[in-house]
Amino acid sequence: MITCVTDTPDVQQVLLGRRGVIEGARPGLICIDMSTISPSATKEIGKTLAAKGIKLIDAPVSGGQIGAIEGKLSIMMGGDKKDVERVRPIMEVMGRAVTYCGPLGSGQVTKLVNQVMVIHTIMSIAEGFAFAEKAGLDLETTLKVTSAGAAGSHSLKALGPKIIAGDFAPAFMVDLQQKDLRLVLEYADQLKQPLPGVALAKELLAVLQAQGRGRDGTQALVDVIRQLGQKRS
List residues with catalytic annotation.
Answer: 111
Buried b (16+ CB within 10 A) or exposed e, 97-125: ebebbeebbbbbbbbbebbbebbbbbbeb
Helix (H) or strand (E) holding 108: helix 106-134
* Of residues 68, 80, 76, 165, the one with CA closest to residue 117: 76
Phi/psi for 120 (5° steps) reads -70, -35
Q: How many CB atoms lie within 10 A of CB 148?
A: 9
Contact of 78 with 105, CB cutoff 8 Å: yes
Q: Are strands 2-3 and 55-58 parallel, antiparallel or unpaired?
A: unpaired
Distance CA 126, CA 207 (A): 14
Within its chain, how far is the Cα of 221 from the centroid? 16
Which residues are 62's β-sheet partners? 74
Residue type, 63: G
Distance CA 45, CA 64 (A): 26
